Amino acid sequence: MYRWEITRAALEQRVIAIVRADSYEKATATADILLGAGITSLEISLTTPYALDAISTLRRETGDDSVIGAGTVLDSASARLAVDAGARYLVSPSLDEEVIRTGHRYGVPVFPGVATPTEMVRALELGADGLKLFPASLHGPGWLRDVTAALPQAPVLPTGGVTVDTAPEWIAAGAVACGMGSALTEGDDRETVAKRVTELLQRLEDAAPGKSKGTSD
């Protein structure tokens, strides 16, 4: 797939599930619950022990049914290792030119972290495929609405403190997707997570600009 095709697939549901755990077993178990609940785009944070192994396992087991990425990618070495492990996109809490360069060298989209309009413009100049607004808890949907009025070309992904209730507000304000971790998996019960994910996906669909209840593409 071309980079833009991977980006579109990763953002299609308007949510990227984030898995950050204290063990390989916990990470893969959590990912299994999320994927089983209907999530199609998921990132494994490199702060997780054996995160690269988890990425490889998930890629092998899910094939093209999901888009598995790597999160907390801080430098070019980590970016290359993540790509080699099978990550289809890279996410970082910071803006590092070499991470973007490495990802793009191997046809992988990169979503670097930004916190200001200046960083957003810089990331776009470096070719970022999406902009991770981090931490989103320091801002709000109103702030994003004001910023995207001036930068409508900025594909923003609020992450950090986004909840099931606030995610639709971010989408309505102009975000292309939201990054969500424990807000999705709280309770660690398959039935509970499945119900939460189903409700969230519908609310995000309804909140998308240009959408209204009862309409379809």
Query: Residue 86: how many CB atoms within 10 A of its CB?
Result: 16
Catalytically annotated residue among 25, 26, 43, 195: 43
Q: Is 211 a catalytic residue?
A: no
The rounded distance, in Å, linking the Cα atoms of 79 and 85 is 10
Beta bridge partners of 15: 178
The secondary element (H helix, E strand) that includes residue 111 is strand 110-111
CA dist., res. 41 & res. 18, Å (int)? 9
Given 5, 119, 132, 199, which residue is catalytic? 132
- Residue 71 burial (C-beta neighbours within 10 Å; 0-12, 13-18, 19+): buried
Can 43 be counted among the known catalytic residues?
A: yes
What is the enclosing helix (H) or strand (E) of 123? helix 117-125
Q: Which residues are catalytic?
A: 43, 132
